[in-house]
């Protein structure tokens, strides 16, 4: 089971900064997925920036969400967690 997402911030270049409940954090790049199905809605920067935590993963106001295991496995966890 993957750690829970506790915070998410949109960054430039269709990237997200994600923190997890185990103390890990890092960047998740989504630019290579934006031409796939429902993810095309996230090409709109205003929509992309409406990202938020839902349950133990992330989702957007338009209803797009990501599998929590995908989020954890694809987040580059090389950066320390930001202080809230």
**Among 3.20.20.150, 3.40.50.10310, 3.30.2020.10, 3.20.20.70, what is the CATH number of 5-74?**
3.30.2020.10
Pairing of strands 5-11, 52-54: unpaired
Average pLDDT, the chain: 91
Indicate whether 77 pLDDT > 90: no
| pLDDT at residue 8 in the model | 97
DSSP for 2-65, written as a single string = PPPEEEEEEETTTEEEEEETTS-EEEEE-GGGTTSGGGGGGGSHHHHTT-EEETTEEE-TTS-B
> Is the pLDDT higher at 8 or at 77?
8
């Amino acid at each position: 089971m993957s750690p829970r997402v506790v915070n998410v911030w949109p960054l430039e270049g269709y990237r997200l900064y994600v923190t997890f409940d185990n103390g890990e954090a890092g960047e998740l790049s989504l630019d290579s997925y934006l031409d796939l199905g429902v993810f095309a809605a996230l090409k709109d920067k205003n929509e992309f920036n409406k990202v938020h935590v839902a349950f133990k993963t992330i989702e957007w106001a338009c209803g797009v969400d990501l599998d929590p295991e995908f989020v954890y496995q694809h987040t580059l966890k090389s950066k320390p967690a930001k202080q809230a």
